[in-house]
Chains A and B, each alone.
Chain A
Amino acid sequence: KAGVTQTPRYLIKTRGQQVTLSCSPISGHRSVSWYQQTPGQGLQFLFEYFSETQRNKGNFPGRFSGRQFSNSRSEMNVSTLELGDSALYLCASSLQGRKSYEQYFGPGTRLTVT
């Protein structure tokens, strides 16, 4: 089975712009979660989608949003970028997103905001 894929792998944006990141989960996985990783805050949960519905949300401002399509692919959007949004954004997929299941991560998208 192919793993979780994320596009693009690297992105450079300017403050005030918006960005859309994409994630394709492992075939058959219905749950997709997004995490932000920074040196200062470590790995932090952004949100989780299951069957096209946002099921869980972390403590991030409304500038961070996401969606999931019927084929389980997911996108996250960050509007009005700030310098502090520079981070590695990781997507993870899980069979059903229940607590008994492992999450499998993609390679991440490295976002740099200048």
Chain B
Amino acid sequence: SQQGEEDPQALSIQEGENATMNCSYKTSINNLQWYRQNSGRGLVHLILIRSNEREKHSGRLRVTLDTSKKSSSLLITASRAADTASYFCARYSQGGSEKLVFGKGTKLTVNP
């Protein structure tokens, strides 16, 4: 079962606007990762943020992490039509397993 949940499930904005997606999880983490998936294709790794980090930037992407609230957010600034995709947060499961556990994703549509 999915143990990370993204919010909202779907988001539609105009080009140039900012898009914010949230992710909540239930257990402690070493790090949290964000991925993008264009329709029906492979996942592209965007950012990994470690549990001792609060904020990380990569180009137009900004990720924050609040371990006390067990939540993370992904902000895409000045969005473009090419940003249209599904965005997933993922964390490693607890214990010895190194499997990534994904949320259901946020489907972002950027209208030109």
Contact = CB atoms under 8 A, between A and B. Distances in A.
A97 B105 contact: no
Is the interface on chain A under 10, 10 to 19, 20 to 34, or 35 or more residues? Answer: 20 to 34
Contacts, number: 61
Interface string A42-76: 11010010000001101000000000000000000
A103 B100 contact: yes
A45 B67 CA distance: 24
Interface string B36-69: 0000111111001010000000000000000000
Contacts of B100: 33, 35, 43, 45, 92, 103
Contacts of A98: 98
B48 A56 contact: no
A81 interface: no
Contacts of B102: 42-43
Given A48-B99, A104-B45, A105-B42, A99 B35 contact: no
A92 B40 CA distance: 16
Interface of B: 2, 30-31, 33, 35, 40-45, 48, 50, 88, 90, 92, 96-105
Interface of A: 4, 6, 31, 33, 35, 42-43, 45, 48, 55-56, 58, 88, 90, 92, 94, 97-100, 102-108, 110
